[in-house]
Amino acid sequence: MEISLIRHGKSQCTENNRITCKEFESWVREYDYNGVFEENSYPSETLNKITKANIIITSDLKRAVDSAKLLNPNIKAISVPLFRETELPNPLTKLRKIKLEPSIWALILRCLWFCGYSRGCESLSEAKDRAKNASEILVEYAQEHISVVLVGHGFFNMFIAKELQKKGWKGKRKSNSKHWNCTTYSLYN
């Protein structure tokens, strides 16, 4: 049995002007509802896994759904909200006048989230619990279909990978978080 975790492609949301924390909240919504750029080529391992998979699952966010279609236009993927990316907390209102690039806001808020700040979103422990549930569902799919692909997101795929490893699945210790890359975990009885 194997479960392959693929990170979606690069988002079409490329706006990177300096914005306030309030504007960043709108930027995140735009990022979540945009598709991805089509590439001239994709990693061969990724194409191989998605072509040979018996079942393909995606997050319900557009960038994951569109990525699966670009990798294999003939597939019928199952889109499930459970596999969404971990959210970023809402910025502190005290920072409302500061303007930063969206990538800097994301870095700061992700660091704060890892330190326990989760205003307006699931906490780190809640995300880990969700990843545990997600990994259990993927294992059930693998037991039924043998080969499973999840087209998902960087941080959440990383949490799922850790859960699979705890369950005895073998693969790279760290899942590959680059766009379009694939990390596969196997379990043989």
The answer to whether the beta carbons of residues 154 and 7 sit under 8 Å apart is yes
Q: How far apart are CA 67 and CA 69, in angstroms?
A: 5
3-state secondary structure of 156: helix
Sequence-distant (≥ 6) Cβ neighbours of residue 84 within 8 angstroms: 59, 60, 61, 153, 156
The answer to whether the beta carbons of residues 24 and 99 sit under 8 Å apart is no
* Whether the predicted pLDDT of 15 surpasses 70: yes
More confident residue, 110 or 15: 110
- Domain harbouring 164, CATH code: 3.40.50.1240
CA 4 to chain centre: 13
3-state secondary structure of 56: strand
Q: Which of 126, 172, 151 is nearest to 63 (CA)?
A: 151
Counted domains in the chain: 1
pLDDT of residue 75: 86
Q: Which residue has the tokens 């799919």?
A: 141
CA angle 67, 81, 83 (to 5 degrees): 65
| DSSP assignments along 80-102, one per residue | -GGGPPPPPPPPPGGGTT--B-H
Report pLDDT digits (tens) over 137-187. 999 999 999 999 999 999 999 999 999 999 999 998 777 679 999 999 998
User: Which structural domain range is residue 151 located in?
Assistant: 2-186
pLDDT of residue 189: 63
Query: What are residue 55's phi and psi, to 5 degrees?
Result: -150, 140
The model carries a pTM of 0.93
| DSSP assignments along 120-149, one per residue | TS--HHHHHHHHHHHHHHHHHHHHHHSEEE
Report pLDDT digits (tens) over 73-132. 988 899 999 999 999 998 877 777 899 999 999 999 999 999 999 988 999 999 999 999
Local confidence band at 25 (pLDDT 50, 70, 90 cut-offs)? confident
Report pLDDT digits (tens) over 40-62. 999 999 999 999 999 999 999 99
pLDDT of residue 33: 86
Q: How far apart are CA 83 and CA 136, in angstroms?
A: 12
